[in-house]
Amino acid sequence: MTHNHETNFNKTAVFAFALVAAVAFAIVPDSALAGTGGASFDPVWTDLKEWMQGTLGRIIAAAIVIVGIIAGVARQSLMAFAIGLFGGFGLYYTPDVLENIVTATIAHADKANTAVMMISNGL
C-alpha cells in the first residue's frame, strides 16, 4: 500500500514540475529563443580566434607537431606524428570551421522548398 502512495507522489511531483516549466516558458518566451543576441561575447570570441590563429596559436600548433614527432620517434610510428600534425591544423582552422558552420545558409533554399513541396504533393 505504501508503494502505491509513493508512485502517486512521484507522478504528482513530475506533473507539477512540468506545469511550472510550461508556465515559465509561456511567461518568458524571449529566453527560450536560441541563437539570438550574445553580442557581449563577441570580444571573447575575437580574442580566442586571434590567439588560435595568431602567434600564440602558431606556437601551440608547432609544439603539438613537435610532441607528435617525438612520440612518433619513441613509438617508431608515423601515426603519432600525423596526429600531432593534424592536431596543429585543427587548432589553427577550428575558428573558421565553427564560423562557417554557425553562419551557414543554403543558397536558393526558396526554390528547393518549392520543388520539395511539388514532389511531396505528387505534382
Given a cut of 80, is residue 96 above it in pLDDT? yes
Residue written as grid cell 508556465 = 23
Give the mean pLDDT of the chain.
Answer: 76
Nearest residue to 65 (alpha-carbon basis) of 46, 51, 86, 79: 86
The predicted-structure confidence for 67-95, as pLDDT tens digits, reads as follows 888 988 888 888 888 888 888 888 889 99
Calculate the dihedral angle through the C-alpha atoms of 77, 55, 97, 69, rounding to the nearest 10 degrees: 0
| pTM higher than the cut 0.85 | no
Q: At what angle do helices 55-75 and 78-102 cross, to 10 degrees?
A: 150
For residue 78, the model assigns a pLDDT of: 84
Using pLDDT thresholds of 50, 70 and 90, give the confidence band for residue 32: very low
Q: Please give the C-alpha separations between residue 21 and each of 8, 9, 54, in angstroms, as whole numbers.
A: 20, 18, 44
